[in-house]
């Protein structure tokens, strides 16, 4: 607790001292952010009774400073699920801390902790007042990170990224390439410094896309190496070295299109481990599509369908176990812009989960073919 208080005190002192710093650089420090409060009702499922709950779903606090003409520094703190350290609620994360070199719109170079570009939503998932959803497509719903392994589906952090666009008549070709740490991050102080990669592997990824009038289309991919399967060595009768740094790839695609008052967006994500070991099979897939309609400039309605599939097979010599999970969500909602900074939202979702694998939903669901409903209202604010 003392460390947390020290951190907050340092942060407040830094903000207080920003005026004099801004005068030297002739640009003010910008402080702004987003937050979303919601009321959700979950119907009965398995051992979980029906529940109603208010909550601060997410808050992002941003600090931005422009240096001279071409340099910008940016910091992003994210608080989730009514964060309280004393009550052990939610989480507080440093999501971004980077400096950007931006000589023109065709080229940007970011150095430091950042959320990489992957498909359409990954880099903008924290913009709750802009998105129509209360509960976002599952792999982007950061408030569910306590029971859904979000980082298995999308890359969460990079440290070097170059991106921009190349004009071609009425079209623009988007590009992004980045590097970051592998998923093998030390979380135990007994093993030395935490938050650092324990291997020599890197996350490498990028996105190529095209924008033409109201069409946006792109393909994304990442490659990394994981030590997450070493614990199966004894079970499989193999040496731990055989399960070290297994290659893991993600392939994603996104499509967005606006026509008159209609809006359409969709994505797919496929995750595979290329281990070369016949006893292990592991794959994740995610798909979603959303069709929306602007009834007025302020009122937007939508329907969306999400599919999350997980496949895992551990074929023990003389035995075998194959598990699959099929999690499907049908949802509809509305979003109303009260003004330029406040958006009101309503959403209903029907959730179906089949053939329990306890990977995607982990401890949330415990019964095969479980079904339940979620009703929610929310207010999202840009401040």
Tens of pLDDT, residue by residue over 178-230, are: 999 999 999 999 999 999 999 999 999 999 999 999 999 999 999 999 998 89
Where residue 317 falls among pLDDT bands split at 50, 70, 90?
Answer: low
Where residue 19 falls among pLDDT bands split at 50, 70, 90?
Answer: very low
Instruction: State percent of the chain over pLDDT 70.
Output: 87
Average pLDDT of the segment spanning 230-238: 83
Q: 0.85 cut: is pTM over it?
A: yes
> Smallest Cα–Cα separation from 35: which of 161, 114, 113, 142?
142
Q: What is the pLDDT of residue 356?
A: 53
Q: Which residue is listed with tokens 């170059």?
A: 162
**113-136: pLDDT as tens digits:** 999 999 999 999 999 999 999 999
Where residue 49 falls among pLDDT bands split at 50, 70, 90?
Answer: confident
Residues in CB range of 271: below 8 A, 6 or more apart? 152, 153, 248, 249, 250, 283, 284, 285
The CATH architecture annotation of domain 26-382 reads: Beta Barrel (2.40)
Q: What is the pLDDT of residue 18?
A: 45
Look at residue 350 and tell me whether its pLDDT is greater than 90: yes
Where residue 21 falls among pLDDT bands split at 50, 70, 90?
Answer: very low
**Token pair belonging to 170:** 């009425």
| Backbone φ and ψ of 140, nearest 5° | -110, 0
Q: Are 57 and 37 in contact (CB under 8 A)?
A: yes
């Amino acid at each position: 607790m003392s460390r947390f208080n020290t951190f907050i005190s340092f942060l407040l002192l830094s903000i207080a001292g920003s005026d004099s710093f801004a005068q030297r650089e002739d640009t003010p420090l910008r402080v702004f952010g987003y937050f979303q409060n919601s009321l959700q009702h979950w119907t009965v499922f398995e051992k979980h009774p029906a529940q109603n709950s208010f909550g601060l779903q997410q808050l992002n606090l941003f600090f931005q400073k422009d240096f001279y003409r071409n340099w910008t520094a940016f910091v992003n703190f994210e608080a989730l699920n009514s964060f309280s350290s004393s009550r052990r609620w939610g989480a507080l994360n440093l999501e971004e801390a980077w400096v950007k070199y931006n000589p023109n719109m065709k080229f940007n170079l970011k150095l430091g902790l950042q959320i990489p570009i992957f498909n359409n939503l990954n880099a903008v998932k924290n913009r709750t007042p802009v998105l129509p959803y209360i509960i976002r497509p599952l792999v982007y719903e950061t408030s569910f990170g306590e029971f859904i392994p979000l980082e298995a589906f999308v890359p969460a952090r990079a440290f070097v990224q170059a991106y921009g666009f190349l004009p071609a008549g009425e079209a623009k070709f988007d590009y992004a390439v980045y590097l970051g740490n592998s998923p093998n991050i030390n979380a135990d102080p007994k093993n030395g410094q935490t938050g650092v990669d324990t291997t020599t592997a890197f996350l490498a990824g990028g996105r190529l896309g095209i924008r033409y009038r109201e069409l946006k289309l792109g393909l994304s991919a990442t490659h990394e190496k994981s030590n997450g399967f070493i614990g199966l060595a004894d079970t499989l009768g193999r040496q731990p070295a055989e399960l070290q740094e297994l290659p893991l790839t993600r392939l994603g695609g996104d499509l967005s299109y606006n026509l008159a008052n209609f809006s359409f967006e969709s994505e797919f994500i496929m995750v595979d481990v290329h281990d070369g070991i016949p006893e292990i099979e592991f794959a994740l897939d995610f798909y979603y599509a959303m069709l929306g309609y602007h009834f007025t400039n302020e009122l937007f309605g939508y329907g969306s369908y999400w599919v999350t599939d997980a496949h895992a097979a551990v074929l023990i010599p003389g035995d075998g176990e194959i598990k699959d999970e099929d999690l499907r969500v049908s949802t509809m909602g509305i979003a109303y812009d009260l003004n330029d900074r406040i958006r009101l939202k309503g959403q209903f979702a029907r959730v179906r989960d089949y053939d329990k694998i306890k990977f995607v939903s982990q401890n949330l669901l415990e019964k095969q073919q479980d079904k339940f409903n979620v009703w929610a209202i929310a207010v999202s604010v840009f401040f």
